[in-house]
Amino acid sequence: MRADFDGRGLRVLRTETRTDAYTRQQVTYRSNGTLVSGVLLRPHGGGPFPAVVLNHGYIEPSAYVTGQGMAREQDWLARAGFVVLHTDYRGHAAGDPAGDRERELRLAYTRDSINAVLALERLPYVDADKTAMVGRSMGGGVTLNALVAAPGLVDAAVIYASVSSRFLDNLEHFTRPNRPEAVAALASEFGTPEQSPGFYRGLSSRTYVDRITEPVLIHHGTVDATCPPRWSRTTHRLLERAGVDSTLVEYPGEDHAFYARWQDSIVRTVRFLRRHLDV
C-alpha cells in the first residue's frame, strides 16, 4: 500500500458563503492528474494557518453533492482557526469519474486524500508543517489507509465511527449484502479470499500499522449499528501493539452519527489537533 503522490493545482470555482469567521469555497485539485472536487474553508486573516483534510463517509455517489457529510466538522474546525479541505473523492460531485474497482477498493480515495494534503500545503496561507486528517466512517478507513501509505505526511489524525481496518470485514458487512455483484467481480479478477489471502490482506490497513508515525484519536459510539464498536477497539489495540500513540474514546449510547455527545467529541478533537500540531 505504497505509491507516489502528486497533489497540486487547487483552484477556486466559486465562493459559497462568508461567515463571521471564514470563507467557504467550492474548489478542485489534481490528484495525480485526476480532477477531484471539494470545499475549502479559509479562516479570516493572513495566516499561515494549520490545515485539516476531511475524509467523508459513504454516500451514494450519484446522490452526493459537494462538501456533503461533514458539515459540522467543517464549521467547527474553521472557527477554531484551521484551513479545512473536504475532499469529495473522485467519482463524486464535479470530479472525474471513478471506475468500479476504484470505488470498491477505496484505494483511489486514499490517493485523493493524500493529494488533498499536498495540494493544501502549496497554498501560501497554509502552514505546511502543521497538517492533519479527520475521517468519518468510510473516511476513517481512508484515513487509516493514508497513514500507512504516506507515513509522516500529516502530524495527527482523528477517526470517527470508522469502518474496520480489515478489508474483509467491510466486504462481508457492507458489500456482500448490498452489492454481491461487486464481490463476485473481485473474486473473478483476483480470486476469493481463500484462493488469494495475500491480496486481501494487502488491502487492509492493519497489515501495515507499524508504518504509522502519527498520533491517532479514535471516537466511537457504543451502540453504533453501522460500524460495530469492536472494529475500533481492535484497531486501537493493534495500533498500540505497533507502538502508535493511539487513543480510543467510547461514547455510551451514541450511534453512528453522534448527536448528544458530538460537541464533546469535537472539543476533544480540536484540543488533540492543537496539541499535536503545536498551535
Please state, in angstroms and rounded to a whole number, the distance separating the CA atoms of residues 217 and 205.
Answer: 16
Q: What is the mean pLDDT of residues 201-215?
A: 98
**Which grid coordinates belong to 258?**
453522534
Please state, in angstroms and rounded to a whole number, the distance separating the CA atoms of residues 59 and 56.
Answer: 8
Out of 9-18, 91-100, 133-142, 222-231, pick the least confident.
91-100
pLDDT value of position 85: 99
Q: What is the mean pLDDT of residues 248-269?
A: 97
Could you report the per-residue pLDDT of 136-175, keeping only the tens digit for each? 999 999 999 999 999 999 999 999 999 999 999 999 999 9
Q: Is the pLDDT of residue 81 over 50?
A: yes
Radius of gyration of the chain (CA): 18
**Which grid coordinates belong to 25?**
469555497
pLDDT value of position 3: 61
Q: Is the pLDDT of residue 101 over 80?
A: no
pLDDT band at 35 (very low <50, low <70, confident <90, very high): very high
| Arithmetic mean of pLDDT over the chain | 96
- Whole-model pTM: value is 0.96
Residues 6+ apart with CB under 8 A from 63: none
pLDDT value of position 103: 75
Please state, in angstroms and rounded to a whole number, the distance separating the CA atoms of residues 250 and 34.
Answer: 37
Could you report the per-residue pLDDT of 189-201, keeping only the tens digit for each? 999 999 999 999 9
pLDDT value of position 1: 45
Nearest to 10 by CA among 100, 69, 105, 84: 84
CA dihedral over 215, 232, 258, 112, signed as positive or negative: positive
Domains and their CATH numbers in the chain: 7-166+204-277 (3.40.50.1820)
3-class DSSP state of 225: coil
Could you report the per-residue pLDDT of 38-61, keeping only the tens digit for each? 999 999 999 999 999 999 999 999
**Which grid coordinates belong to 46?**
493572513
Q: What is the mean pLDDT of residues 132-139?
A: 99
Please state, in angstroms and rounded to a whole number, the distance separating the CA atoms of residues 214 and 216.
Answer: 6
Q: What is the mean pLDDT of residues 53-79?
A: 97
Task: Say if CB 41 and CB 67 are below 8 A apart.
Answer: no
Burial of 193 (0-12, 13-18, 19+ CB in 10 A): middle
